Amino acid sequence: MSSEYLIKLGKDIIPTTSTKIILGNTLKVPPLAIGTWQFGDTSYWGWTPAAVKEAKEAFDLACSNGLTFFDTAEVYGKGESERELGTFRKEYTKEQQDEQVIATKYFPYDNRTQFPDVLLSALKDSLDRLGMVKSDLYQIHAPIHPASIEVVANALADAVEAGLVKAVGVSNYGLDEIKTMHAALKKRGIQLASNQVSFSLIRTIPEKSGLIQLCHDLGISILAYSPMGMGLLTGKFGSKGPWPEARKRLFSSFDPEQLDKLLTTLASLATKYNRPQSAIALNWTIAKGTIPLAGVRTPEHVSQNATALGFLLSQEDIKTLDQFAFEGSTNKEWNHG
């Protein structure tokens, strides 16, 4: 039996694939999303043609397990992530496709200045790659657009009114930016559905700044990307490395003593709840009122992520994790939230 909740799960509700969260008064999604940045990305994740088979198996396993909420973007693999998802979906019936919620993103390059045309054109290109006629959730990738937030909001509203989008969201927006976007869309009679921000035990700024609470107050769901701290929270790496070269700068910026305590606590709770360490990190983000967006490359990743459901950390254990969590940082370039 399924239960439905607006914006976020109700307090003390155990997350399962049957507990649905309603985004923007429109989309019903499970409390755990699947990220597909890795699909097609050669620069960071080392994607090769040989990886397609496992990615397809991961997609199929996620769908069969009820994890039907997928997040992508036009810049992931220069469109390859969207193309892969579009190919994978072809084997599903119309009814099965309708159960899948596909979120993608518009990237506000500096040369994209002619709104709404640039956004509508990019959206149509994304829909072509995805094999869809209407996007479930269309998001602005970062608050770095050359046009004002009001202009971008009107372009999103135009996309909704043109029947190209069911719901609209943003990503990396800070407090003031969220207020402005929400108000601008409200003038057009549209609810801002989501704000996708980096949120994990190594980056708690969205909670500490009040951004999560503000979004909830405005009816906006929080999608938490990098909820496993780019792999740091999974137990794969120690508090002093060795770390992947691409992530060394970030991981080495954390106080090693505090990081050791955090990782030790995660390992202890993994034993207590009989779950992988990654499941504890993901469940923590759910307990904070967000929808974690966990990236996958293989069916094993899907199976591991799914173990974050079916239980809920106690308030005492959440407080213990909070004690060793890091605040993290923002940057003026793109990550304002």
Give the distance from CA 332 to its chain's centroid. Answer: 21
Token output for 222: 């929080």
- Helix ranges, the chain (H): 52-64, 80-89, 94-99, 117-130, 149-161, 175-187, 205-208, 211-217, 245-251, 256-273, 277-287, 299-306, 315-324
Regarding beta strands 33-35 and 27-29, do their DSSP bridges make them parallel or antiparallel, or are they unpaired?
unpaired
Residues with active-site annotation: 76
Instruction: Report d(CA 329, CA 335) in Å as an integer.
Output: 9
- End-to-end Cα distance, the chain: 35
Are the CB atoms for 321 and 265 separated by under 8 Å?
yes
Instruction: Report d(CA 277, CA 120) in Å as an integer.
Output: 41
